[in-house]
Structures are given as structure tokens and as C-alpha cells.
Amino acid sequence: MKIAIVTSLRGGVGTFTLSLIYGLSKLSSNTFDVYVVSPQISSFHRELINSILSKRSNFKLIYLCDIGKKLISGNIETICRFLFREISFESYDIIHFNYTWALGAYNISRAFRSEDVAIVQTVHGMPPLKFVNPELAPFFLLENYILKKIFLRKAIVVANSHYLSNLLKKLNLKVITIHNGIIDAFFDRSIDKEGSKRLMGIDGKRTILYADNIDRRKNPLPAILGAIYVCRKLKDCFLILAPPRRTKLMEKIVRILNIYDVKYKVFHSLSLRELTTIYEASDIIISSSNVEPFGYTLLEAMACASYPIVMKAGAYPEIVGNAGTLVKDNSPKSFARAIHRIILLNQYKLEELQYLARRRAMMFTATNMVRKYLKLYQYVVEHW
């Protein structure tokens, strides 16, 4: 079986791609050509992928950064022209299209003369329009339309959570749910929270982590304000702010909130090792996002024994299960109450809850995810 994976290495899509490649390299002997269509690729991502695929002859990596740069401009005709010039799609049994938007998959599928090549489209995020910046609303409407068109071409649409699957079913789509997974190596290391705190210069008996992006859809303020309230009340608490992007905006928010009476630190440009150490150093991870389609950051922190306190919304309930606190009311007061209750637990009880969170995260490994994708690939080839 010969499979083309057309993907990005940005944000959660990039994390999914790394997990997919990691799992496939462990479990499959099929031939995979991975086309990375990103405007820029960090040396970190290159090194990690190369280390995963070292001595794997059945994988071929092709970086198409020029096309990725054109993706930003939105000129889809130019993008598809470049793609067809670079990729002989007709030579594959399956094309697994893995991008935030379905527009590229639609144009590729529309251009095929033959129905012999199967399309698998993994959808990573499509929040309800009422939560979207008005400027982005037309793109989500277009996404809805295109997903319907893809389905008419017999493409297989995969959602990475039941929450996202239910949104897509409202478009009258038949959707398969395959939860994303994180690289199994997260569970191979022993947890040393005190050592991680010293390593990252964190001075506090209890630590609270906010590591989501800073934007309107993530709705960061209820969780952050709730944590600030607790840190002001309990002086041995330390607030860690580590958004993956827009750290200058986070620093501006900190100045506006005037939290200089609170122990805190803003981290930015973290390597994977540093980010993992931050996760380990955190006793609690918080998020007040209303529309999280999956939650990689949350899952990685849970894998490093950080107890989750998150909104009862989006995909969080199916990720956290009974291994965390789900906040129903998205307000600083509700988050403060939930954080305060966990912070005051004795060390033994807190470690017990953190262990349960880590066990829950073990359900969402790259290996488990890839086993399901391999079954899907086999089914598609046999029944297309």
C-alpha cells in the first residue's frame, strides 16, 4: 500500500503529524511519502522528524515550503498547480490530507480524473460560528460547504474528537472519530516535580500552569484571573504563563492586570525538553477555552502528572473524564474556587490525583491512534 500524507507542521496539526509519523514508523511497513506544506519549518521539527525516521526506508519526507508560503496568501489555484506539479497523486492508493482547512483537499479531490485514489481528510478544528472572530466567519462557512463537497466525492472525513464529530454531523456528514494521541515517550520518564521546579527557577510550594494560546476563542482571562486570585491569597503559590505564541501579548496582559504582588513567570520560545520540564513542574494546568477541538497541551501536561482544571466545554470532558475538574461556569470566581480546593489538598492526596490524570492520558497515545488509522487505511483500500 502506498500512501501520501499532505500535512503542515504548525500548531496542533504539527503535533498530530509528529505523533502520526512516530506511530506509523513503529507499526507499519507500508510506503509513506510525507509532503510537508508549511510556510516555514523550525530546526526543532526537522530534527525531531529526522530522529523518528532514522533508518526507516519506507518513509520519504518532502518539504514544500514555497507552497506553504502561498497558502498564507490564499491563492488556492496557485497552490494546487504547484501541488500537482510536485506530486503525482494518481500513483498513490490513499491520500491522507491533514490540514486545518479542507479547501486544499477539496481542490485536489476535484482535480482527479479517476475515483481510484481514496481521500482521507482529518479535520482538526471547526468551532461554532458564534465563537469565531467575525472576520473569520466566511472561512468557516466555506469550510462547511467544502466538507460537504469532499463527502460527495466519497472521501473519508475523520474528526479528532467526539465534540468535533458532532459539529460535523450537523452538516449531514458521515464522520469517523479517531482521537489524537501524543508520542509514547511522554510516559517513559519518571516524574520529579521538585527537581523540575528548581531547574526552571520556579519558587513555590504549589504551581499553576496556563499554556494555551492567547486569543479570543481560547478565552484565557477567566482561568488566569482565577489563578491570580488564589496566588494572592496563598503566598506559596507560583503562576506559570507559557503560551506557545504571542508571548508579548501575555506580558502586556500581565502589566495591565498589575500582578506584581504575585509570584509568576512568563516563558517563551521553549524547546520540547524545556516545555516538558514546565509540565512536570506544574501541579495544576488550567484552561477556560470554550471551543477546544482536542487539547494537545492539556494532554501533554496530564502525561507529566499535572492535574487539569478546565472548562466543561469543547473536547475537554472526553479528554479529562473523571481525572480532573470540569468547571461549568466560565468565570474567574468559579476557576478560583476550583483551583483553591485542589491547592489546599495535602501532598499525598494531590499526588494521587496527579497519578490518576497521568493514567487517563495514557489512553491517548500515538500508538493507539495509529492502530486505528492503519485499520482505516486497510478498510479504505479494500472497500473503495
- Tell me if 336 sits within 8 A of 226, measured CB to CB: yes
- Going by C-beta distance under 8 Å and a sequence separation of 6 or more, which residues neighbour residue 370? 19, 20, 22, 23, 24, 26, 27, 28, 181
CA distance 356 to 349: 11
Confidence class for position 43, pLDDT limits 50, 70, 90? low
More confident residue, 144 or 240: 240
pLDDT of residue 369: 96
- Going by C-beta distance under 8 Å and a sequence separation of 6 or more, which residues neighbour residue 261? 232
pLDDT digits (tens, 9 = 90+) for 286-306: 999 988 889 899 999 999 999
- Going by C-beta distance under 8 Å and a sequence separation of 6 or more, which residues neighbour residue 79? 67, 70, 71, 104, 107
Which range, of 26-40, 137-151, 218-232, 293-307, averages the lowest pLDDT? 137-151
**Burial (CB count <10 Å: 0-12, 13-18, 19+), residue 73:** exposed
- Tell me if 154 sits within 8 A of 105, measured CB to CB: no
- Tell me if 24 sits within 8 A of 56, measured CB to CB: no
Which range, of 107-116, 350-359, 374-383, averages the lowest pLDDT? 107-116
pLDDT digits (tens, 9 = 90+) for 62-106: 777 655 455 444 455 555 566 666 677 778 888 898 875 666 666
What percentage of the chain has pLDDT greater than the value 90? 40
CA distance 68 to 192: 40
Q: Which three cell numbers stand for residue 55?
A: 533508518
Quick check: 138 pLDDT over 90? no
pLDDT digits (tens, 9 = 90+) for 231-268: 999 989 999 998 877 777 788 888 888 888 899 998 88
- Could you tell me the pTM of the whole model? 0.88
Residues of the chain with CATH 3.40.50.2000: 2-183+365-383, 184-361
Which range, of 130-139, 277-286, 301-310, averages the lowest pLDDT? 130-139
Confidence class for position 188, pLDDT limits 50, 70, 90? confident
What size, in residues, is the chain? 384
- Tell me if 96 sits within 8 A of 5, measured CB to CB: yes
Task: Tell me what the mean pLDDT of segment 25-38 comes to.
Answer: 86
pLDDT of residue 302: 96
From residue 128, how far is each of 12, 188, 224 by CA, in Å? 18, 37, 24
* Residue among 330, 331, 309 nearest 320 (CA): 309
pLDDT of residue 74: 47
Q: Mean pLDDT across the chain, nearest whole number?
A: 84
pLDDT digits (tens, 9 = 90+) for 127-137: 666 666 666 67
- Residue 288 has, within 13 A of its CA and on its CB side, a CA count of 22
Cα torsion angle, 289, 129, 162, 11, sign: negative
Residue that the C-alpha cell 494521541 belongs to: 181
More confident residue, 364 or 78: 364
CA distance 7 to 75: 17
pLDDT of residue 358: 96
Task: Tell me what the mean pLDDT of segment 157-185 comes to.
Answer: 89
Q: Is 172 left (phi over 0), alpha (psi -120 to 50) or beta?
A: left
CA distance 189 to 186: 7
pLDDT of residue 86: 65
CA distance 267 to 279: 12
Q: Which three cell numbers stand for residue 71?
A: 497558502
Highest mean pLDDT among 48-57, 76-85, 146-155, 266-275: 266-275
CATH 3.10.180.10 fits 184-361, yes or no: no
pLDDT of residue 273: 84
What percentage of the chain has pLDDT greater than the value 70? 83
pLDDT of residue 72: 45
pLDDT of residue 73: 46
pLDDT digits (tens, 9 = 90+) for 316-343: 999 999 999 999 988 999 999 999 999 9
CATH of the domain spanning 2-183+365-383: 3.40.50.2000
* Residue among 181, 171, 242, 246 nearest 215 (CA): 246
pLDDT of residue 78: 57
pLDDT of residue 50: 78
